[in-house]
Amino acid sequence: MNKVLIGRRLHKSFGQTPALRGADLSVEAGEVLALMGPSGSGKSTLLHCLAGILSPDSGEVVFDGRRVDLMPDRERSRLRRSAFGFVFQFGQLVPELPILENIALPLLLGGTRRRTALAAAEKWLPRLGLESVGARLPGEVSGGQGQRAAIARALIASPRLVFADEPTGSLDSVAADEVMELLVTCAKTQDAGVVLVTHEPRMAAFADRTVTVRDGRVVEAAVLR
């Protein structure tokens, strides 16, 4: 299989506290990979390093043959707009922008004309059941609707990979299942891979493969599909 993202011997510390101690991980093209582990194991830090949000203290992150950890911020920002998408637990929607503009934000930041970007975002509303809330602010919609908007935003630029950090952590079980189903389905429709951090086995069951992170290292892996 084609490895689209590789992390090798990743180390990362915050002050005196080590979060990653030589983690190794690779992501295949189009696969849904779940990172599991106890609280404080380093799974979110690993995801952030793989996504280029954080720079590891040592080790390398390679995406499509290019070293992400060595890229300047401008290049990594471009990756986040075009090649990567993000769905986090909360806080990734801009409170002052309506749902439609939040979805269109990556295109707007990339220089797409406003009309074109909003037209593209409009197409995502019915796909994710958001037809009635496009003009509302994030604070005026439910948690599930907000996460679905985040999914739309993550996928609007046709990314290669979507990074999701506890995307259902703040949702009830019904909404959580709905969101995971949409995330995985939409990603696979666009041949986008998903790297998912979760501590819930029920959410990890949506993945093709799971890895366990413990004490800053990847300690075991399991193929589900």
Positions in the binding site for another protein (CB under 8 A): 14-15, 48, 53-54, 73-74, 77-82, 86, 88, 91-97, 105-106, 108-111, 114, 153, 157, 170
In our burial notation (b when 16+ CB lie closer than 10 A, e otherwise), range 34-59 reads bbbbeeebbbbbbbbbbbbbbebeeb
In the bound state with another protein, the residue whose beta carbon lies nearer, of 150 and 211, is: 150
CB of 221 to another protein, least distance (A): 26
Q: How far is the CB of 222 from another protein (least distance, A)?
A: 29
Give the torsion sign (CA, 185, 182, 219, 23).
positive
The minimum distance between CB 59 and another protein, in angstroms, equals 18
Comparison of 46 and 157: residue with beta carbon closer to another protein: 157
Q: How far is the CB of 1 from another protein (least distance, A)?
A: 27
Distance CA 48, CA 214 (A): 16
- Of the two residues 19 and 212, which places its CB atom closer to another protein in the complex? 19
Nearer to another protein, 99 or 210 (CB): 99
Burial degree of 126 (CB within 10 A; 0-12, 13-18, 19+): exposed
Asked whether the CA dihedral 197, 41, 50, 32 is positive or negative, the reply is: negative
